[in-house]
Amino acid sequence: MIARVLTAVTTGFDSELVTVECDTTRGLPAFNIVGLADKAVGESRERVRAAIANSELNFPAKRITINLAPANLAKEGSHLDLPIAISLLCASGQLRQKDLDGILFVGELSLNGEIRPVRGVISLAECARRNGCETIVLPRENAAQAALLDGLNVVGVTTLTEVILHLLDEKVITPTAKSVVENINNTSHSIDDVRGQESAKRALIIAAAGHHNLLFTGSPGAGKTMLARTLPELLPPLTTDEIFEITKIYSLAGETDDVITTRPFRSPHHTASFVALIGGGTKIKPGEISLAHHGVLFLDEIPEFPRSSLEALRQPLEDRTVSISRASGKTTYPAHFMLVATQNPCPCGYYGDEKRECTCTQQMILNYQKRLSGPLLDRIDMIVPVARVEREKLFTENPCKPQADEWKRQIKTARDTQIMRQKRPNSALTNKQLEKVAQLDTTAKNLLSTAAERLNLSARSYFKILRVARTIADLNAHENIATDDIAEALRYRQN
């Protein structure tokens, strides 16, 4: 008798259906797994053997052959333990084949029969639903993530014995209910704690409202990093679709088994490798730019990052996806993030500072500033100088009333306006879509044309100014872009 059990394997951002076939025949006891399995799958022989025996089930003393079909698809991951064990129990007559139809099994087995959590469960659950499976059986720790999908019964289990009793209808497990997700921005940094820096705060509000890329430049200690870390507080709550996408990426990366309910804020060190930032590796995994999807990628002291890593950001900043090609295959991950970066004006950090004298030569300053290429700077929507805060404002009690809640309300209203009008934030508008929503009066159009000519703006810079101006108009509740909106947007272009 040949038993067949359904499971799946991840292939980058997606998953493929796999059928686990088990055949038991007479002969010397043996346990073979075929079908292009990696080392983790090959080692499942011992885990499955011990788990079945320690669960007081019968491990057949026969020649056992497990085939993972399709045979030309590489199989990797310890989550194939459970489907292999189920197929073996079915082939030995301890389970009925008809009880396994329409069920996809996922889980890693411990030696005592416990089922451990695995990564990538949302992608595996998507594969189950796409191929007509009604139920997915997986580790209980992963059930909350899989339950984000509609139209699929998610059965969370903790032991192999529980699975058997459930399949035999002796102790049926209630499917995991889809939990109500609360959108909460948990952050220890508040914009109300920042003294002064009114122009930089205004830039943060505009960036948060339109999902624009931002670069703070100024001397050390001026508050660039502190300003950047207050951004998550200002961003609108995640939508249901955004929660699903972010949780899927984090599950594939093995970062967490929980549902992600807050916008990511990723802050890699400047010594992070190219692969860590962009993604890749032998088993292609998402990098920091994908883990920052629908959130913020913060690059503190951006000139210190390797040039190759920074230049690799150019394509994801435009396409909002990253395509990774390796010898093992090709994968495309989403990467719709806000780039927020900081930099000093020179190696010593005090070029242009009113209080301290710069000790760098002109050549040192030029070489330092050239670490950021023109094409990369062209993709940054807003470049904001951050000046040193006067000591009187820094050490006196903050006289300003809290404004964070009011700013968050303005940002959410502006973002809701954009979603209703064009189904996306202003930064994601194509040039053709921008022409439809960026209506300018004659004075504003003349101002932008004059500025484009005098500043020698590229086409990309021209349209980025329009996008920022459209966001400013939304914050100011202007139906059309006014002259003041264009003038403010031009303040944030320095190239």
Q: Report the C-alpha gap between 488 and 451 in whole angstroms.
A: 12
> Pick from 266, 267, 297, 291: which is nearest to 279 by CA?
291
Interior angle at CA 206, CA 205 and CA 207, nearest 5: 90
Is the CB of residue 156 less than 8 Å from the CB of residue 173? Answer: yes
pLDDT score for 183? 57
Phi, psi values for residue 200, rounded to 5°: -70, -40
Q: Report the C-alpha gap between 172 and 156 in whole angstroms.
A: 11
Is the CB of residue 276 less than 8 Å from the CB of residue 268? Answer: yes
Q: Which residues are paired to 69 by β-bridges?
A: 19
- The SS3 assignment for 75 reads strand
- The SS3 assignment for 191 reads helix
CA 431, chain centre distance (Å): 25
Q: By 3-state DSSP, what share of the chain in percent is helix, strand and coil, each rounded to 5? A: 40, 20, 40
End-to-end CA distance of the chain: 72
Q: How many residues does the chain have?
A: 495
Q: Which tokens hold the place of 11?
A: 């292939």
**DSSP annotation of 481:** B
pLDDT score for 223? 87
Q: Report the C-alpha gap between 113 and 443 in whole angstroms.
A: 74
pLDDT score for 326? 83
Phi, psi values for residue 423, rounded to 5°: 70, 15
Q: Which residues are paired to 157 by β-bridges?
A: 139
Is the CB of residue 270 less than 8 Å from the CB of residue 301? Answer: yes
pLDDT score for 187? 63
Phi, psi values for residue 323, rounded to 5°: -100, 120
Compute the half-sphere exposure of residue 184: CA atoms within 13 Å on the CB side of its CA: 7
Is the CB of residue 160 less than 8 Å from the CB of residue 274? Answer: no
**Is residue 286 within a helix (H) or strand (E), and if so which, with residue range?**
strand 285-286
Q: Report the C-alpha gap between 334 and 324 in whole angstroms.
A: 11
Interior angle at CA 282, CA 281 and CA 284, nearest 5: 60
Is the CB of residue 413 less than 8 Å from the CB of residue 421? Answer: no
Q: What pTM was computed for the model?
A: 0.90
pLDDT in tens, the chain (495 residues): 799 999 999 998 999 999 999 999 998 999 999 999 999 899 999 999 999 999 999 999 999 999 999 999 999 999 999 999 999 999 999 999 999 999 999 999 999 999 999 999 999 999 999 999 999 999 999 999 999 999 999 999 999 999 999 999 999 999 998 766 655 555 667 887 787 788 999 999 999 999 999 999 999 988 899 999 999 989 999 999 999 999 999 999 999 889 999 999 999 999 999 999 999 888 889 999 999 999 999 999 999 999 999 999 999 999 999 999 887 788 999 999 999 999 999 999 889 888 888 999 999 999 998 899 989 999 999 999 998 877 666 666 555 667 888 999 999 999 999 999 999 999 999 988 998 888 888 898 899 999 988 888 888 889 999 999 999 999 999 988 999 999 999 999 865
Cα dihedral: 489, 215, 210, 287 (round 10):
150
- Indicate the angle between helix axes 240-252 and 121-130, nearest 10 degrees: 110
CA 303, chain centre distance (Å): 24
Radius of gyration of the chain (CA): 28
Omega before 399 cis (within 30°)? no
Q: Which tokens hold the place of 397?
A: 């009690």
Cα dihedral: 411, 413, 415, 421 (round 10):
-160
